[in-house]
Amino acid sequence: MENKKAADSRKVIVDVSDVYKSYYLGHEEVPILKGVNFQVFEGDFVAIVGPSGSGKSTLMNLLGCLDRPTSGVIVVNGQDVNQLDDNGLARLRGMEIGFIFQQYNLIPRLTAYENVMLPTYASKKENIDYPKKAKELLKMVGLEDRMRHKPSELSGGQSQRVAIARSLINAPSILLADEPTGNLDSKTSEEVMGYFRELNRSGATIIMITHNNELAVRTDRVITIHDGQITRDVPAVDFVQHIKEEQLTVMEHLAAHETGIR
């Protein structure tokens, strides 16, 4: 186990303090996130799990500066998102955040290469040779011979690999992935997970929402969300133990129930 001091000396990339988020249906407030607190350190690989509708994507959209909290503070790479106007928020998003979605979100009429280049039209960093980098990234995800293909000519796994390359083009300080393997078969999910593991090993900070406990336990840390609140935030090894215990409890209940019937 890491000691507290060592953990504290790492750079905080995402700092979430007492965050609430509501949606409004007409005049009715619908609270979705209800006091969320956590920090993500540079180089972390974090999984977020929880039932459908628990607020995972809502949280991700806040972390990704696509939306603002109703109250509370979110600091991304040293910048308090509440202090930024819309342009500032868009800039932070473009420069520091890479997004990967379940539906890939590629532009159909653009080639794989053009899709990877797309974020650079809105936000550019100095000292990056983007055409060279786009090709390198597509090569990294094994698509050097598919650069001129359009999304309709790519499989789901290939499309997601293009999306991974696109998410990395601006050298973001954090990668956010919302159920990146949700549309993929288990073999292709493994492949995508392999890329995330590799990226993390080379220093990338990754937050990944997933429904798949087997993938979640292969990150470093698993945050569980229920009904807009964090109910568990543990190292992945402990999460494995929790799942085993929960499964045992369910089996004991079933066994007791069966015995009762007889």
Ligand X SMILES: Nc1ncnc2c1ncn2[C@@H]1O[C@H](COP(=O)(O)OP(=O)(O)O)[C@@H](O)[C@H]1O
Binding site for ligand X (CB under 6 A): 23, 30, 32, 50, 52-58
210 belongs to the binding site for Mg ion (CB under 5 A):
no
Identify the residue among 33, 48, 55, 57 touching Mg ion (CB under 5 A): 57
Residue 58 touches which member of ligand X, Mg ion, none, C-beta under 5-8 Å by kind: ligand X
Q: What's the chain look like in SS3?
A: CCCHHHHHCCCEEEEEEEEEEEEEECCEEEEEEEEEEEEEECCCEEEEECCCCCCHHHHHHHHCCCCCCCEEEEEECCEEHHHCCHHHHHHHHHHHEEEEECCCCCCCCCCHHHHHHCHHHHCCCCCCCHHHHHHHHHHHCCCHHHCCCCHHHCCHHHHHHHHHHHHHCCCCCEEEEECCCCCCCHHHHHHHHHHHHHHHHCCCCEEEECCCHHHHCCCCEEEEEECCEEEEEEEHHHHHHHHHHHHHHHHHHHHHHHHHHC
181 belongs to the binding site for Mg ion (CB under 5 A):
no
Between residues 105 and 123, which has the closer beta carbon with respect to ligand X?
A: 105
Residue 167 touches which member of ligand X, Mg ion, none, C-beta under 5-8 Å by kind: none
Q: Which strand (E) or helix (H) includes residue 99? A: strand 97-101
- Of 50-58, 166-174, 190-198, 243-251, the segment contacting Mg ion by CB under 5 A is 50-58
Between residues 41 and 239, which has the closer beta carbon with respect to ligand X?
A: 239
Between residues 42 and 227, which has the closer beta carbon with respect to ligand X?
A: 227
Residue 23 touches which member of ligand X, Mg ion, none, C-beta under 5-8 Å by kind: ligand X
| In the complex, minimum distance from the CB of residue 48 to ligand X, in angstroms, rounded to a whole number | 9
| In the complex, minimum distance from the CB of residue 228 to Mg ion, in angstroms, rounded to a whole number | 13
| In the complex, minimum distance from the CB of residue 34 to ligand X, in angstroms, rounded to a whole number | 11
77 belongs to the binding site for Mg ion (CB under 5 A):
no
Residue 53 touches which member of Mg ion, ligand X, none, C-beta under 5-8 Å by kind: ligand X
Residues that contact Mg ion, how many (by CB under 5 A): 2
Between residues 65 and 141, which has the closer beta carbon with respect to ligand X?
A: 65
- Of 51-59, 157-165, 169-177, 250-258, the segment contacting Mg ion by CB under 5 A is 51-59
224 belongs to the binding site for Mg ion (CB under 5 A):
no
Q: What is the DSSP letter of 152?
A: G
Residues 6+ apart with CB under 8 A from 174: 13, 14, 40, 63, 76, 77, 96, 97, 98, 205, 206, 207
- Give the interface with Mg ion as residue ranges (CB under 5 A): 56-57
